[in-house]
A and B are shown apart, each in its own frame.
Chain A
Amino acid sequence: MVYKLKVNKKDYSVDATPDMPLLWVLRDLLGLTGTKFGCGMAQCGACTVHLEGEAVRSCVTLIARAAGKEVTTIEGLSPDSKHPLQVAWLEEDTPQCGYCQSGQIMAAAVLLRENADPTDEDIDHAMSGNICRCGTYPRIRKAIHLAAKLQKQGGTK
């Protein structure tokens, strides 16, 4: 079946079965491999992308749900990789192995959109579903605080 969807502001038509996870569509059909497969059961957050602006787990979100809607992946978070979170992530040297980090950033982007000045507790509530096996949590927290500051200053987009 052919589905139309908009990914990172570009229109795509993909031939997929209705039960194909969005993650498969992104990685295997569209070649957008920045989004990672972690657990395959919505437990770890590595596959987090935005569907109509919400941080869905693309491993359990079927293409049928995403059809006709707007999807944003890590590749489309900003046109020039200068989203405050991306800048802050580099600044704080946040990743270790890096595998979970695109999911972490996509989750944090929803937090910063809805709460421009998050406390540690807000960060916990937003990010506790995104697991990092390297344990980079303290650096993730620092980077989110920095990104909030950058966002306020408007120095990066």
Chain B
Amino acid sequence: MKEKNTYSIGELAELAKVSRRTVRFYVALGLISPPLGRGRGRHYTDQHLQEILTIRRLQARGVSLAELQVRRQQQGRLAWMAEPPPAPLPARMVTRITLDEGVVLEFAHDLTGLTPGEMLELARRCQEVVKNEKGRT
């Protein structure tokens, strides 16, 4: 991650893995705070990044944008922790990613609340670790 904590719309979009248009669209719907500054000085911060990631997580849990809009209007912010855990599923949905021969990473969808992109990123990192370990032994 970058050292500085102010981002242009493009940088923010790339970090949050959404398009630039989505960032604008979230601002227009009042789902995230408006950017700071004006014109060329217009920028976003880590707070904006956190807000977008929270929206994406809540959306992945099935919360609609309309509902998110209402919550944001009522509470002033969107809290991830306040989200009650979903009702237990009769069958658990999992994603299994094979990292290497005999090494499997498993995500329980109802518990992690990660987006597919985040899962892949995590898997990639774990794969690095596995590779390094293997090289050592």
Is this pair of chains taken from one and the same complex? no
**Residues on A close to B: CB < 8 A?**
none
**Residues on B close to A: CB < 8 A?**
none
